[in-house]
Each structure stands twice: as structure tokens, then as C-alpha cells.
Structure 1
């Protein structure tokens, strides 16, 4: 069932005291994202969530990461907080690195408490000691921690039974909104009852519905079973589109699983807010007209359709504007690479930018003639809604989530209809009156969504779900 997020701050009883339910946002996925690389897609949404939680003065909100060697979520270490934070952090939540000596003492104590931790635990502890810095000091620290762990294991094996160090008591980490990394990870413990009360962001069900369009890792192959386990355990889903919420409900019904609790939240206009802070939202003239497609380059995004259309134009002597494909290269793209190799003239009219910064992407949106988004299937389609945020007309596929993301305001064509796409792209390029009418439609009927509104809806849903959890 879909639930409207309440505005009230529900409280729970605990030993006669009333307090707000503890809410945690999982930053595990972001801790693995390469430093300095621009955020796109799901990581961009999760970065917004983590940043909102770090900036929220509410003491019931925290940011955590999953520790597989402990089977639980823990607050971020200072180096992790520095890595994932992209904005303001509430002063009381800001963690300071205690210095190498204190950090080493704490790391060795953690090893003493849990001598059976694996090498990933040693790597994490070494980073806490060196504040995330790599190099000789990190390598030496990691070896020292490993040696101490082996010593503690030997001590445990030889010690009398009563001297064996026990595991620290499981601490309640509150109600955790897990990251996509957990849903596609390899550790089943992360989605089990041992990890505490969970909620999840359901960006899409593509690994389950269209595995042929996804580079299936072992974790993604288990994606469907993880979702079913979460829903069975009562974990609510947070969906940015009505389409994904309905798809999730239908899928669970077909799988014989209890109807999920679904919270709908508005997708935030993150890039537009960044541009607003920079004072760079107005239109600028490009040196030459171009069409923009902002998306990771992968088979699901259907770049090969656009390549065929631009090649058709070359063959017919039709001059289309340059096509700019903004985004990093992804997976299952051998057919596209082969097509580009077989048609070398295409690269005279098609540009692949690779990964770019937010500043570069903002300039593209401000100067694009129009956008295209021919993806076969989407959970939302950020590139489509971002076009509208910047007042840029966009042609989308008939994927329901893309029509929803563009508010039903833009022309939509089946992702396999090359003739239809070719005609629409030519009309958009050659008919300025039609293009202007779409621009006016955007100005009248679309408004960017503030990140604060999205965070408020997600937080309210988490509060409602946490307050309904039975006390253990």
C-alpha cells in the first residue's frame, strides 16, 4: 500500500520515557565511490540523503555504514565523514580525527574485542588510524593491526575459557535506510534481522524485470530475493516514482509476498540547486547547436538508437545538431562500440564526454538546444527531469517512469521506434516554433523540487515506520 508521509514527529515509549525514534541513513555505497569522481544516478540521490542527514540538527538522525565483519551498522569514522560529506555538517555531529596515537589505541582495542575480524576489518581500521590516507604509513599500520589480530587469536585459543574476550553487546542503531550497495552486495547479513530495523530506497526493479539489460554481478542476481526478504520482514520502500511503487507492489503480489508499505517522495532537483547556489541557471548560447543525452553509457540507455539515427542523417545528407552524450562508459556496450568502429564518420557529429563535473554538466544543460532520453526502462530518469529543471525540451521514450519524470509534458516515443525518433529529432531541430512551445509549457507547468522537500518526506516516512516497530 502507498502511504502519505506524515508531518508529525512520532515518538516511542522506552522505559517510560518518550523520545523520537532513531533514524539512520546508510552511506556504505558512497564510502566506496572514488574520491573526486562526479556523482551520477543512484549515487547522486544517496549523496543528497547523506548530506541532508549530516546537515539535519535533529539528534535522532545519524549517518552510518555497514560493517560486514560485525554484521551491523556503525556511525561513520572521521575519514569516512570527510569522504561522503558534500555540504554543511551539523557541528555536534562533526567528528574530528583524534590523532594517530589515539586512533591506533582505539583500533587495537577493536581488534581485542573482535579478534576474528577479516582483512577488510584490518583495512578499515588502518584507514581510521591514517585518516583515510594511503601510502607507506597505511600499509605499515595495516600489517601491524593484522599481526596484533593474529596474536589475539592465538591468545584466545590458548586462554582458559573464562578469559576469552566476548563480543560487545549488540547496540541499537535505530531504523536504517539502506543504500543501493547493500541491495546489490554480497553479504546476506546486511539485509537480515541481525542488522536492525531496515527500510530501503527502491530506485527500480530492473535487475529482476530486465536482467538482459544489466551487467549481472552475483549481488545483482540476488537482488530480487533480497527485496522479497526485506518486504517479508516489514521493511518499507521509498520510491521516487509512482510507477516503481506500483511495479514493486505487483511484483510482490506475484511472488506471493505481503503487500509492501510504499512511501512516495519527490525526486529532488539536486543539480539545479547546485546551479542556483552558483548563480548559473539562465540560458547561455552554445558555439554550435547541440542535442544532449546525459546518462551512463550502457545497453539499457539505448545510445545505439541515437547512433543509428545520426548515421541515417549522414547517409541522407541531413544535418542534425551535434549529439553530446554526457556520462561515463558503463557495461554491455560492445554492440555500440562495434557500430561506432564500423561508421567512423559518426564521431564527427557525436561527442562522448566521459565522466564530467557538475559544473561542466550545468553548462551543457544551460546551452543545449534540446535533450533526448531513449532508454528502454527506467526507475526515474534523472537526465529527463534535469532537462525540465533547466527549461530544456526533451524527447523521452514511452517508459512509464520517464513520462512521469517529465510530467507528461514532453513528446514520448517507443524506444525501439527508430523512424519515430528520427522524425521527432528532425522536427525538434528544424521547427523552432514547436521547440519554443515546449519550452513555454515547461515554464508554465514545471517547477524544480527543493531537496529540503524530498528530505522532509523521507524523514517523515522513516519516523512513521520506526514508531510502528514492535519493541524488542
Structure 2
């Protein structure tokens, strides 16, 4: 896709021509992640989207968050911009904090306009007044706003206030690309249709296809119905892989729902771009050879297969490189923990790092002997494509999205085939000529995808979709 010029109609405000925002990126999900913490998977992609929009000088682009107490999306407050921004922000998008007195006056006016809003609103307004502050100042401000709300309600009930409060009109985004959080949050109003026109980033539909691999939390059970409701409403889907787009279309066909418009975009090589800015993309020698698996540790990612293989190697007297599993501990991992407890000697050759920083992860990619990605099912498989970005050969499972993410260039083995994986890992470790041929294959056929190319495709897709809705 190519970037198109905005066709938003201009409006006049104070003698200036202003193009009202027509496209918006939802930052709601990022607000739940502590600032400065390492991001992986879906949060990493959403951070890329939000920050691409913040840098974009196009006035037709906006960054928003969902306000459940209003049932709609609103522009970010200054403290929220500080929370999600990873770099520069386009000047016209910067909203300086007006100061405590002005912010408190604005908060009181918001309460007067909407006196029946829920307590969550008071917390948000208090953060706005204190610019994201915490502690006693924030708590005192929240109680003050709450007291003013109760006062306004009492005036209405007693008949002392006759006017009908109404929300001051604001420009609404024409189309919002919602965060993954919206698909799993408790407030259904976000996908009810009242929140405006929506598009969604379809990372995968694993919760609907393989709920056995994700547990039975309320959010996962809700995913399928929310997804179907979005598609019924006409929301277009943005997919990083052809496989996910085809799977989504087939899933809706089986559910008797018309297929959504699907826009394909290239997955950005975010970590490699970070490494390029740091001047750290070249290979470095590790203290000892090691195999890298970068992924959240959860049942779907199939770490237990690797644990069994490394245990088999110990029993066979085979020396494999150390296995480094980089990623936070997730869910449904009791069998893996039990296996590790039953085989404590494994921890001499297998390392679980926990969540690591981008800088540390870059170091791992630059020095890994090769990578592995035996996941049962994926929407993309960032760890596989990141291996290729850094010129590291990787063995993947035969799940179609992983083959797509690795460009069909790397050896692929069924995720249940332990002996096949064992043989391939031994060959990759011992056969230097084969490993070198895979490195050469990557060099000849793979190029990291610039974040700017991904953003251009997504933005063009959003503009095209907004004209169709």
C-alpha cells in the first residue's frame, strides 16, 4: 500500500484552517503497562503504533484512550502522553499541563457537565489535575472532585439546579484502531457501536481457536464474542500475516458472519531498528555457545518440549549448547515447573532469564548460536522473525504463521515431534556447514522491515477503510 493524502474536510477555527482528526490509534492497552518496562509481543507492536502516530505530523491522525465512564474515545491527557511516549511527539499533539488551578477548574466543569459519571472518572480527573501524580496530593484531589460530584447530584435532586447537563461537543475520530485490551476488557460499551467506528489489529484469534492453550479467564472467554460483534459491525481487520487474515475469514464464515475487510501490513522489525540506532546490529562472540528462545513462558509456546530434549541429551551423553529462554513467566506452566522440579540437573544447561530489557535482548540475538521456536500455534512469532533480523538461523514449528514469519527460509518441524526436534537441534549445533548455509540464506533473502514502512501501510489502510465505512 502507498500513503495517501488526507481527504479530511477543512474547518475554520479562529481564522486558521484546521483539519479535524479522522484516524485514531488507541493507547488504552499501553496505559496498563508501567512506563520504562520492557515490552514484548502485542504491547511492543501497540507501542510502535502509538509512537508512530505521535511522531506523525499529519493532523488527520490522533492518539486516544477509551473512557468507559463516557463510553467513548478521547485524546490523551498530558500525563498519559508522558506515559506512552517513547520518543519525540509531533508539536501539534503536545498538550502542556495547564497547571493545577486551571486543570482543577476544568475537572470541576467536567463534573458539572456529567454529574452521574462513575468513580473511575474521579480517579482519572485527579490524575489529570496532578499530572499523573500519586500519594496524598492525588488522593486529596480525588476526594475533592468526588465531593463536588456529590454536591452537584444533591443540587439536581433537590431541584436547586434546573439546567440539563450535557457534555461539551468535541471532535470525534472518524475511525479508531483499537488496542488488544479493548477485546478483553470488562466494559462492553467499547465494542457496542456507541463508541464510534472501529478497526482492530488482529494479532491472532487463538483464544477462539485454541482456548485449551489459554486457560478459562473471563477475558479469554469474552474474546470470541467481542471479535464477532466487531466484525458484524463492519470493523476492518489489520493483520501482520496472510495466515491470520485467512484464518479470521474462515472463522467468520463458519460462524455465518460476512468476512471483514482485511488489510495486510508488514510486521515492523522494531528491536532491530532500536539496535541500529544504538549501532549494535553486528555479531558478537558469546562466552559459550547458546540456543535462544525468546517468548513468554506459557503452555502454548511449548517450552516443555525443549526441556524434554535437553533432558534427553543429558541422558544420552550428548553435549548441547546452553538453552536460554528469554521472557516472563506466564500461564498454564504447572507441567513445565513440575518437569523442572523432577529434573533439577536441567537447570545446569537451561537458563530462564525472566523479562529482559531491549538492550539485553539485543545482546542475546547478536551472540546466539541459533534460535528455536517450537510454539503450537502463533499469529506471527516475533522471536522467529527477530532471529532473521539479526542473521540468526532458527528452527520453527510447522504452524503456518511461523513459516510465514521466517519467510519459508528456515527448517520447520511439527511441534509434537520431539525426535524430529532433537535431531534438528543436534544437527544445527554440530553441523557448522549447514548452519552457515542458513546464515547465508538469511543474508540473501531477508531484510528487516522499517517501522516507517509498517506505519505507512497501516495508515493507508485506515484511510481506505474510513472511506468505505
Aligned to 1:383: 383
User: Are 1:63 and 2:63 matched, yes or no?
Assistant: yes
Cα distance in structure 2, aligned partners of 1:51 and 1:141: 30
Calculate the aligned-residue CA RMSD, in Å.
Answer: 1.7
1:8 aligned to 2:9? no
In the alignment, structure 1 segments of 5+ residues that lack a partner are none
Alignment of 1:36-185 (within 5 A): 36-159=36-159, 162-169=162-169, 171-185=171-185
Q: For 1:171 and 1:71, how far apart are their aligned partners in 2?
A: 15
Alpha-carbon separation, structure 2, partners of 1:340 and 1:456: 45
SS at match of 2:459: helix
Distance 1:271 1:409 in 2: 20
Partners of 1:19 and 1:64 lie apart in 2 by 17
SS in 2 for 1:162: coil
Listed as ranges, the matches of 1:235-254 within 5 Å are 235-254=235-254
Q: Secondary structure at the match of 2:453?
A: helix
Task: Identify which of structures 1 and 2 has the higher relative contact order when contacts are C-alpha pairs closer than 8 Å and 6+ apart.
Answer: 1
Deviation at 1:139, TM superposition (A): 1.3
Task: For residue 70 of structure 2, give the secondary structure of its aligned residue in structure 1.
Answer: coil
State TM-score, norm by structure 1: 0.95
Task: Determine if contact 1:27/1:46 at 8 Å carries over to the other structure.
Answer: yes
1:24 aligns with 2:20: no
Instruction: Tell me how many residue pairs correspond in the alignment.
Output: 465
For 1:425-456, what per-residue CA distance to the aligned partner results, in whole angstroms no more than 9, with x for missing partners?
Answer: 01001111110000000000000000000000
Corresponding position of 2:211: 211
Distance in 2 between the 1:103 and 1:448 partners?
44
Give the direction of change, closer, same or farther, for the CA distance of 1:152–1:184 in structure 2 (3 Å limit).
Answer: same
| The 10-residue stretch of structure 1 (164-173 or 376-385) with the greater mean CA deviation from structure 2 | 164-173
How many Å apart are 1:14 and its aligned residue? 8.2
Give the Cα–Cα distance (whole angstroms) in 2 for the partners of residues 47 and 182 of structure 1.
15
Please tell me whether residue 195 in structure 1 is matched to residue 195 in structure 2. yes
1:326 aligns with 2:326: yes
Deviation, 1:159, is 2.2
Aligned in 2, Cα 1:309/1:364: closer, same or farther, shift over 3 Å? Answer: same
Contact 2:6 2:60 in 1 (8 A): no
Q: Which runs of 4+ in 1 moved over 4 A?
A: 12-21
C-alpha separation between the residues in 1 aligned to 2:336 and 2:316? 21
8 Å contact kept, 2:20–2:59 = no
Tell me the SS of whatever aligns to 2:58: coil
Partner residue, 1:232: 232
Give the corresponding residue for 1:441: 441
